[in-house]
Amino acid sequence: MRGNTEIINVFVNRLKKIGIKVGLAVNYPWIYIDKINGKIVTEKFEANHGFTIAMYLVNGRIRFTSRRKIFQLIRELR
């Protein structure tokens, strides 16, 4: 089983391999996507302060929100 930081690193590195650079921000328990290829993300999803891609759960694990919405946003802003 992968650790929390490894899950996020795999996500970021796989996007990087296909030419998409993302910036993330964390405000526990939310993990936001901040930038996509240098473009600032202004959309909000499942939070009042940004586009949430994942959340820390009570047991310490990370759960991605809607992968469909995440990749829809990435396609729009790349």
Chain segment 31-74, per-residue pLDDT in tens = 999 999 999 999 999 988 899 999 998 888 899 999 999 999 99
* Residue 19 region by backbone torsions, left for phi larger than 0, else alpha for psi between -120 and 50, else beta: left
Domain that holds residue 55: 4-77
pLDDT at 1: 47
How many domains are contained in the chain?
A: 1
Q: Calculate mean pLDDT across residues 10-25.
A: 95
Q: Calculate mean pLDDT across residues 13-29.
A: 94
pLDDT at 48: 87
Which parts of 1-78 fold into alpha helices (H)?
Answer: 4-17, 67-77
